Amino acid sequence: MAPFSSKTKSPFTKSDNLLFDPALIPASIQESLPAGYVVRPLARSDNQVRSNSSFLKTLEVLTTVGTISDEAFQRRFQYLKEHSDQYYTIVIEDMNVPPTSAGSATSSSPSLVTPGRGKIVAAGTVLAERKFIHELGMVGHIEDIAVSADQQGKKLGLRIIETLKAIGQQVGCYKVILDCSEKNVPFYEKCGFERKGVEMGWYV
């Protein structure tokens, strides 16, 4: 893989609220987003009930999410946090949205770097799998890419994939792979992927 920019300044700082260290997100990707949009790790506070603004709501463009209580969300977040060298879930947040009366959008310090002040519009994950082959090599698996329906076509999907590829590369993956439907092949080709192998599935 071609190297990504080593400049890794992020408008966010490492904190217990964030899933992983935001320094893994290249500044060059942050700078390429539309004005007022930020890319950051998933936050504990991203399970807001404000309509159309939470992380879970964003995933509904992809498939069924179901009803997930805040307690269940927090338990899952905590598991991922305890394995934060494996799970890298990111979101893009549109900070141009005015705060409403619900959720942490009412933060008393509505700084551009307060996660949850705006509206989550895109999400994705890269999972770092530790192998025995290739001298204990690591493979990145890209999963659950979603851009809100009203935000598609603004290169947010591309920025999500660029970020996940950069994270995979920085944590030591020798390749990053994904499964997708035929209709998304042109999108992933634009993101630098090529067809390899065949996807197989077994559903319980």
The footprint of ligand ACO (CB under 6 A) covers: 61-62, 142-147, 152-158, 178, 180, 183-184, 186-187, 190
**176-182 LR contacts (CB < 8 Å, sep 24+):** 176/1, 176/126, 176/139, 176/140, 176/141, 176/142, 177/139, 177/140, 177/141, 177/142, 178/141, 178/142, 178/143, 178/145
Q: How far is the CB of 71 from ligand ACO (least distance, A)?
A: 26
Gap between the Cα atoms of 82 and 76, Å rounded: 10
Nearer to ligand ACO, 22 or 157 (CB): 157
Residue 164 parent element (H or E): helix 156-171
Q: How far is the CB of 164 from ligand ACO (least distance, A)?
A: 10
Nearer to ligand ACO, 105 or 145 (CB): 145
Residue nearest to ligand ACO (CB): 157
Nearer to ligand ACO, 23 or 62 (CB): 62
Going 79 to 84 to 87 to 92, the CA torsion angle's sign is positive
Q: How far is the CB of 81 from ligand ACO (least distance, A)?
A: 22
Nearer to ligand ACO, 158 or 171 (CB): 158
